Amino acid sequence: MSAIRIEDLTKDYAIGFWRKRPYRALDRLSLEIRSGEVFGFLGPNGAGKTTTLKLLMQLIYPTSGHAEILGKPVGDVATRQRIGYLPENPSFYDYLTAEELLTYFARLFGYPAAERKRRVTMLLDRVGIAGERRLQLRKFSKGMIQRVGIAQALLNDPDVIFLDEPMSGLDPLGRRDVRSLILELREQGRTVFFSSHILADAEALCSRVAVVAGGRLAASGLLGDILAFEVRGWELVVTGAKPDVLASLSHIFTRRTEISPGRYALELSLDHPPEQVLSSLIASGASLISLNPIRDTLEDFFVRRVAEAGPRESNAVGPTAQIPRSGVG
Amino acid sequence: MRAVSWIAISVFRESVRDRVPYNLVVFAVLLMASSYLLGQLTAGQDVKIIKDLGLAATAVFGLFIAVFIGIGLVSKEVERRSIYSLLAKPISRPQFIAGKYAGLVLTLAVNIAVMTCALYLVLAYMTWIGSPTLKSAWDAPGVDVALLKAIFLIFLELALITAVALFFSTFSTPLLAAALTFGIYVAGHFNADLRNFDRVVTPAPAVWLARGLYHVLPDFAAFDIKTQVVHGLPVPAGYIVSTAAYGMAYIAAVLLAATFIFSRRDFK
């Protein structure tokens, strides 16, 4: 069963002061996120990630297309009882304390007093701000506000959680905490849809990802599938190789690095099968330490797809449209 | 309905902790104290001056609360993006508008109650120290319950201004919303002049425009019965009821328009 279904979702904004011109922030995005998976929604700044999340939360309305969460159209108020949302760089009420804010939101979910207290106490503790529960939010640092944001997103024990740049503003310890929290949510069978431009987060957490660039879907699928087709060479680590043998093979190596005396890391392109090189080296008295395929990292994939998507100007609708760099993400 | 009340309580708590209402109440109390001093210099007119200034201060300081907090209710929430988390909760946009409005009306009610208490305390003191000869010169009793009629209509007028401020804040910037609300407030007080515009201006389009504005703009002058109350003139109950009905109908219409616009708005 799909937790989130997005079909041809498109969002145009009118830009300009006097002469309004349409600008396409999101272009016919289609995605399906299965129940219980951690889905990474990746892309550089301005790619359309935040626009997509705002459309799913119905903070903005689509120009065309359709989206559903848990089988109900987005905007269905009852469905919000089962979803959690952390906006990008969240902000709350300056004069409320963290405890008051969470209690206020818990009331909106209709929990009775004892349940409100239990949930608020548990979540403040879970995100590591139990000690600051009675401090007004205007005195909180960015990282602490982010933690409050995560707590309010989990307040209703949601089935589907939307996290927009959840690691933003967090120190390494905070990032580690959020990662373990997302993994915990996955173990509990929750669906997590999170946007990020930090690819290491996706590599550590996601089973499937989608990459958006320039408002368009550049790729989507299992992380392993996306990267499996991107093996671009081999790395051999050998010891005891004779310098004259290495010199005779130098035209084959794309890179040769002496890690320590007599120990080399050698990179081969896909044109040269590693077995042949390896047999030549072993015949000359070298020993194999390791042999590994060189894969594209998600970072490489990401950069390449963004470059393929072209400049943002391609998103302007109409012949003379200009492109803003802010306001959409 | 419960969601609306929780939003309203949150607005009330936020505005009480934001020190602006406190400052305004302090200013109102100070003004009433100065009216007492002024009254000492004007023999026989002291209570009338205190009532005049007290009611005027209640209206003016209430106006500042209604406009400056009213326009911030939605626009501040959108600007600092706190609305994102809130609208992701199981509440609809009309509930959001209703809750915000109810919260500010609650804030106004508490502020006006404080100002009314302060005014009555000063009047009670004046009555207590006043000689029988002095009291016989008063148009109305010192502690006059009829003042509550004027205060009730001031409250309704402020509730209407709050609705207007909220309406403008659903689609414009705080500065523009404040300017537009003050504009409506001023124009609404001269509504009767628009009705009789043909007596001073002859071109037909100008007269039609004035007539049109007369029907569209709120008639704030109708809520002003301060002079009658201070001078002890009778204000029929029917007038209070019909003005209250007019005010509430206007508030409902403005809030409906605000909800209509807000429900279609994109939060970029």
SS (H, E, C) A234-290: EEEEEECCCHHHHHHCCCCEEEEEEEECCEEEEEECCCCCHHHHHHHHHHCCCEEEE
Measured CB to CB, residues of chain A less than 8 Å from chain B are 13, 54, 57-61, 77-78, 80-81, 83-87, 89-96, 100, 104-105, 107-110, 136, 149, 152-153, 162, 327-328
Chain B residues touching A93 at Cβ < 8 A: 10, 14, 82
Q: Classify residue B210: in a domain, yes or no.
A: no
In angstroms, the CA B127 to CA B141 distance is 8
- CB-hemisphere CA count at 13 Å for A233? 12
To the nearest whole Å, the CA of A42 is away from the closest chain B CA by 20
Question: How far apart, in whole angstroms, are the C-alpha atoms of residue A285 and residue A275?
Answer: 15
Please, are residues B235 and B149 in contact by the beta-carbon 8 Å criterion? yes
Nearest to B88 among A85, A93, A95 (CB): A85
Touching check for B3 and chain A: CB below 8 Å? yes
Q: Are B252 and B160 in contact (CB under 8 A)?
A: no
pLDDT digits (tens, 9 = 90+) for A162-209: 999 888 878 888 888 888 889 999 999 999 999 987 777 787 888 888
End-to-end distance of chain B based on CA atoms, in angstroms? 28
**A252 has a pLDDT exceeding 60:** yes
Among A10, A11, A13, A108, most B C-beta atoms within 10 A, so best to mutate, is A108
pLDDT tens column, A37-96? 999 998 877 888 999 999 999 999 999 999 999 999 998 999 999 999 999 989 998 888
> Residues of A with CB below 8 A from B85's CB?
85-87, 90, 92, 105, 149, 152-153
CA-to-CA dists, residue B71 to B100, B213, B251, angstroms: 11, 23, 15
pLDDT(A229) > 60: no
In the three-class reduction of DSSP (H, G, I as helix; E, B as strand; rest coil), residue A198 is classed as coil
Q: Which pLDDT score, from 0 to 100, does residue A132 have?
A: 87
Give the DSSP H/E element, type plus range, for residue A303: helix A298-309
Asked if residue B221 lies in contact with residue B191, where contact means CB atoms within 8 angstroms, the answer is: yes
What is the structure's pLDDT at A227?
62
The two beta strands, A231-239 and A287-295, are antiparallel
Q: How many residues does this entry show for chain B?
A: 268
Does residue B20 sit at the A interface (CB-CB below 8 Å)?
Answer: no
Task: State how far the Cα of B88 lies from the Cα of B84, in Å rounded to an integer.
Answer: 6
Residue B118 within a domain: yes
**Unique residue bearing structure tokens 């009629």:** B149
Q: Determine, yes or no, domain membership for B107.
A: yes
Q: How many domains does chain B have?
A: 1
Q: Tokens 């301060």: give the residue.
A: B226
Specify if B215 maps to a domain. no
Whole-number Å distance between alpha carbons of A123 and B15? 27
H or E stretch including A83? strand A83-86
Judge whether residue A8 has pLDDT over 90.
yes
Q: Are A92 and A100 in contact (CB under 8 A)?
A: no
Pairing of strands A64-69, A72-73: antiparallel
Domain assignment present for B93: yes
The reply to whether residue B18 touches residue A95, judged by beta carbons under 8 angstroms, is yes
Residue contacts between A and B (CB atoms, under 8 Å): 86
Residue type for position B55: L
Domain membership flag for residue B234? yes
Which of A60, A83, A87 is closest, CB to CB, to B81?
A87
- Is-contact B90 B1, C-beta < 8 A? no
Q: Element (H or E) spanning A4, and its range?
A: strand A2-15
pTM attached to this predicted model: 0.80
pLDDT band at A230 (very low <50, low <70, confident <90, very high): low
- Distance of alpha carbon B237 from alpha carbon B243, whole angstroms: 10
Q: What is the DSSP string of chain B?
A: -HHHHHHHHHHHHHHHHSSHHHHHHHHHHHHHHHHHHHHHHSTTTHHHHHHHHHHHHHHHHHHHIIIIIHHHHHHHHHHTTHHHHHHTSS--HHHHHHHHHHHHHHHHHHHHHHHHHHHHHHHHHHHHH--HHHHHT-SS-SS-TTHHHHHHHHHHHHHHHHHHHHHHHTTS-HHHHHHHHHHHHHHHHTHHHHHTGGGT---HHHHHHHHHHHHHS--GGGG--HHHHHTT----HHHHHHHHHHHHHHHHHHHHHHHHHHHT----
Q: Which residues of B touch A85 (CB under 8 A)?
A: 84-85, 88
Q: Could you say which of B82, B264, B266 has the minimum Cβ distance to residue A92?
A: B82
The full length of chain A comes to: 329
**Which residues from B are below 8 Å from A92, CB to CB?**
82, 85
In one-letter notation, the amino acid at residue B185 is Y
Percent of chain A with pLDDT over 70: 89
Residue B179 falls inside a structural domain: yes
Q: What is the pLDDT of residues A196-218, one digit of tens each?
A: 877 777 878 888 889 888 888 88
Higher-confidence position of A329 and A102: A102
For the stretch A9-40, pLDDT in tens is 999 988 877 777 888 899 899 999 999 999 99
Residue of A nearest to B18 (CA): A95
Query: Residue B267: its chain A contacts at CB < 8 A?
Result: 54, 59-60
Distances (CA, A) of A25 to A14, A62, A66, A287, A296: 10, 10, 16, 55, 28
What domain range is B248 assigned to? 2-189+224-264
Asked if the Cβ–Cβ distance from A57 to B88 is below 8 Å, we say yes
Q: Is B139 within the bounds of a domain?
A: yes
CA dist B223 → A62, A272, B161, B245 (Å): 44, 91, 12, 11
pLDDT 10s digit of each residue in chain B, 268 long?
Answer: 788 999 999 888 888 877 666 766 676 677 667 766 766 676 666 778 888 888 888 888 888 888 888 888 788 888 888 899 999 999 999 999 999 999 999 988 988 888 888 888 888 887 787 677 776 766 667 678 888 999 999 999 999 999 999 999 988 888 888 899 999 998 888 877 777 777 777 777 888 888 788 888 888 888 988 888 888 888 888 999 999 999 999 999 999 999 999 999 988 7
Contact B107, B15 (CB under 8 A): yes
Instruction: Please give the Cα distance from B135 to B220 (Å, whole number).
Output: 33
- What confidence score (pLDDT) does residue A111 get? 92
pLDDT number for residue A313: 47
Of A169-183, A225-239, A304-318, highest mean pLDDT: A169-183
The answer to whether the CB atoms of A93 and B268 lie below 8 A apart is no
For position A329, what pLDDT does the model report?
A: 40
pLDDT of residue A327: 36
Which chain B residues are closer than 8 Å to A78 by Cβ? 90
List of chain A residues whose C-beta atoms are within 8 Å of the C-beta of residue B7: 108
Task: Supply the mean pLDDT for chain A.
Answer: 85
Decide: A182 and A151 in contact? Cβ < 8 Å: no
Other CB atoms within 10 A of residue A127 CB: 23
Helix (H) or strand (E) holding A101: helix A98-108
pLDDT in the model for residue A323: 34
